[in-house]
């Protein structure tokens, strides 16, 4: 038997804890097995080179999918891809109401429309200071500042327990668009008593403060004003404040502004629909920008992370249908280099240098500021909130460790470091890990969502590293060899005078054929596969996948 005194408030991250990206967090209230849940954010991360053919990676939500009848809603803190990018892919598995502020909702509507879900999803558009009562959860949205419009913290109260879920944030004294951080509301929460803060850890290793968007705007104006040729600025499309500053720089320098890249146009439209960019200058089309004198155009484009098919990548390689780059032009990277993208970004910058384009990057300049809190800003937040316990999220493990240590130094009684899949009791005290559930990743392979450990993904990794050998063995009705064995290698060095991979593979196959030519297909398939892999491993140093086919003739 259980009663109300057995109820617990728990926190469960399914993504974004121990990594940057793919944020997905759950709060549950009740007794074990009988909890009501709310989900906060449902984002993606993007595949790297070691996941060939995979475009997008999402959290594995199998746990909450099993309890979806008790999932009361999905609340979105803001519109970045790592917080909303998985909604259209995974909502059909959850079918819960969604709550979002106007700008975030506008971005999400575009994704739902592309997925054919716009008329199915119950999307509730709420004010930036909304109060919600969802089941046992009482939730208040609190305005913060970040690198996108309408970032929100969530003040969650359940049965007297109070939780502050920060989402992504920084403290920007001059944010260009949107409201200032609602410090008074955060202090009031701290005065009332906060049981736990679940807090952004991205920049905990960086001293000082992250800087203001207004300072970036002034620096961009200087960079554009002193330029004599064509200027291209690449940045994160979602940063509406940055778009505002770039537009102001274009106007003050007497240049026409052109937006290039699908992401730029999508954000621009969403911002206009929700009341932002009202003083934006009239844009010129990409097809017209190429006819203007270089010193009369400013192009704001996607591609800051080195994406080859983004607008800047296509311009750099001469593949853009309307826009070109030439010697004397200036490309400004008004963005940070996201860890993992270094190779792609440096390759793009080398390509730009090859055609004598000047490159200006954030190193040593104020043309970009982060959207996440550095140590001094984290210190301010903890002084305002004064939580009993702290759970660092939104960071790699090194960030979580440093954040927990900082929280302890700032007087937090119970810093608690957790991993994806940990169930953490927040109330009643103490804050501690009480259980764990399976967590992991789902891979979007084309239009099909598959498990991260699926055979197809594993095979593709092997293929990308080692290639494949196809072996065709002609047999008669009695499974006796009846013709010439065929061997073909794909993704392997070409045979020449020194490299004879096909011959080596052929020899390995023939050694597996009995003297009477009679084969048992299942056993022969295994023996041939092992023999070919072993032989090529010895001679080539790699063990490719082997596909054996028996062809009846």
pLDDT tens for 22-75 read 999 999 999 998 999 999 999 998 776 667 778 789 999 999 999 999 999 999
Q: Over the chain, what is the mean pLDDT?
A: 94
**Positions of E strands within 43-189:** 45-46, 56-59, 71-75, 98-100, 123-125, 131-134, 137-143, 152-158, 161-165
Lowest-pLDDT range of 49-63, 187-201, 475-489: 49-63
Q: Please state the separation of Cα 62 from the chain's center in Å.
A: 20
Sequence-ordered list of residues with C-beta below 8 angstroms from that of 51, at least 6 positions apart, any chain? 57, 443, 457, 460, 461
CB count within 10 Å of CB 85 equals: 25
pLDDT tens for 321-363 read 999 999 999 999 999 888 778 899 999 999 999 999 999 998 7
pLDDT tens for 269-316 read 999 999 999 889 999 999 999 899 999 999 999 999 999 899 999 999
Mean pLDDT of 174-184: 96
| Alpha helices in 226-310, H assignment, sequence order | 240-252, 262-273, 286-289
| pLDDT band with cut points at 50, 70 and 90 for residue 1 | very low
In degrees rounded to 5, what are phi and psi of residue 140? -120, 130
Mean pLDDT of 222-230: 96
CB count within 10 Å of CB 534 equals: 12
| pLDDT band with cut points at 50, 70 and 90 for residue 448 | confident
| Alpha helices in 441-545, H assignment, sequence order | 455-466, 501-511, 521-539
Ramachandran region, residue 123 (left: φ > 0; alpha: ψ -120 to 50; beta: rest): beta
Question: Which two tokens mark 433?
Answer: 């890990």
- Cα–Cα distances (Å) from 334 to 56, 331, 553, in that order, read 24, 9, 64
Q: Do 213-360 and 11-208+370-451 have the same topology in CATH?
A: no
Strands in 256-260's sheet, in edge-to-edge order, are 256-260, 297-301, 231-234, 330-333, 358-360
Q: What is the DSSP letter of 283?
A: B
Lowest-pLDDT range of 198-202, 255-259, 405-409, 461-465: 461-465
Residue 546: pLDDT over 90: yes
pLDDT tens for 362-395 read 876 689 999 999 999 999 999 999 999 999 999 9
Q: Please state the separation of Cα 217 from the chain's center in Å.
A: 26
CB count within 10 Å of CB 2 equals: 11
pLDDT above 70 covers a percentage of the chain that reads: 97
Q: What is the DSSP letter of 117?
A: -
Residue 5: pLDDT over 80: no
CA–CA distance, 379 with 382 (Å, rounded to integer)? 5
Q: Is 100 helix (H, G, I), strand (E, B) or coil?
A: strand
Q: Which CATH number fits domain 11-208+370-451: 3.40.50.300, 3.40.190.10, 3.60.15.10, 3.40.640.10?
A: 3.60.15.10
In degrees rounded to 5, what are phi and psi of residue 252? -70, -25
- CB-CB contact of 539 with 469 (8 Å): no
The second-level CATH assignment, the architecture, of 213-360 is 3-Layer(aba) Sandwich (3.40)
Mean pLDDT of 433-455: 87
CATH code of 467-552, in short, is 3.10.20.580
pLDDT tens for 128-150 read 999 999 999 999 999 999 999 99
Give the β-pairing of 414-415 and 123-125: unpaired
| pLDDT band with cut points at 50, 70 and 90 for residue 2 | very low
Domain ranges for the chain = 11-208+370-451, 213-360, 467-552
């Amino acid at each position: 038997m259980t009663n109300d005194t057995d109820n617990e408030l728990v926190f469960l991250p399914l993504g974004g804890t121990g990594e940057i990206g793919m944020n997905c967090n759950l709060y549950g209230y009740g007794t074990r097995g009988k909890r009501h849940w709310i989900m906060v954010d449902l984002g993606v991360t993007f595949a790297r080179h070691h996941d060939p053919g995979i475009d997008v990676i999402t959290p594995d939500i199998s746990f909450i999918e099993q309890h979806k009848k008790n999932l009361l809603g999905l609340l979105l803190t803001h519109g970045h891809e790592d917080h909303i990018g998985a909604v259209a892919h995974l909502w059909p598995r959850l079918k819960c109401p969604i709550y979002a502020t106007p700008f975030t909702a506008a971005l999400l509507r575009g994704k739902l429309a592309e997925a054919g879900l716009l008329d199915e999803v119950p999307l509730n558009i709420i004010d930036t200071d909304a109060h919600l009562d969802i089941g046992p959860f009482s939730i208040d949205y609190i305005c913060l500042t970040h690198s996108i419009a309408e970032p929100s913290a969530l003040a969650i109260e359940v049965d007297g327990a109070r939780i502050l879920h920060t989402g992504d944030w920084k403290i920007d004294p001059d944010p260009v668009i949107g409201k200032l951080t609602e410090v008074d509301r955060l202090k009031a929460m701290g005065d009332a008593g906060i049981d736990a803060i679940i807090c952004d850890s991205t920049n905990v290793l960086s001293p000082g403060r992250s800087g203001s968007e207004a300072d970036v705007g002034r620096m961009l104006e200087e960079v554009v004003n002193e330029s004599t040729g064509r200027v291209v600025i690449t940045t994160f499309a979602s940063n509406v404040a940055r778009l505002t500053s770039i537009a102001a720089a274009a106007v003050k320098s007497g240049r026409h502004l052109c937006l290039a890249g699908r992401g730029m146009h999508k954000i621009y439209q969403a911002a206009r629909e929700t009341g932002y960019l009202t003083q934006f200058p009239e844009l010129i089309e990409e097809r017209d920008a190429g006819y203007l004198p270089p010193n009369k155009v400013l192009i704001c484009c996607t591609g800051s992370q080195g994406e080859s098919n983004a607008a800047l990548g296509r311009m750099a390689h001469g593949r853009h249908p309307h826009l070109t780059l030439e010697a004397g032009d200036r490309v400004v990277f008004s963005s940070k280099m996201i860890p993992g993208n270094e190779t792609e970004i440096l390759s793009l910058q080398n390509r730009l240098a090859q055609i004598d384009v000047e490159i200006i990057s954030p190193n040593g300049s104020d043309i970009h500021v982060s959207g996440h809190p550095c140590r001094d800003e984290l210190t301010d937040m903890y002084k305002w909130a004064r939580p009993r316990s702290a759970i660092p999220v939104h960071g790699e493990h090194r960030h979580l460790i440093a954040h927990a240590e900082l929280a302890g130094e700032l007087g937090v009684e119970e810093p608690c470091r957790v991993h994806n899949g940990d169930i953490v009791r927040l109330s009643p005290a103490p804050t501690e890990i009480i259980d764990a559930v399976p967590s992991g990743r789902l891979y979007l392979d084309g239009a099909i969502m598959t498990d991260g450990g699926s055979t197809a993904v594993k095979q593709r990794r092997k293929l990308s590293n080692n290639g494949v050998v196809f072996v065709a063995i002609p047999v008669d009705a009695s499974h006796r060899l009846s013709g010439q064995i065929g061997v073909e290698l794909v993704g392997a060095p070409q045979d020449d005078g020194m490299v004879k991979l096909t011959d080596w593979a052929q020899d390995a196959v023939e050694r597996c054929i009995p003297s009477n030519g009679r084969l048992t297909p299942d056993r022969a398939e295994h023996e041939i596969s092992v023999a070919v892999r072993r032989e090529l491993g010895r001679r080539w140093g790699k063990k490719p996948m082997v596909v054996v086919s028996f062809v009846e003739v």
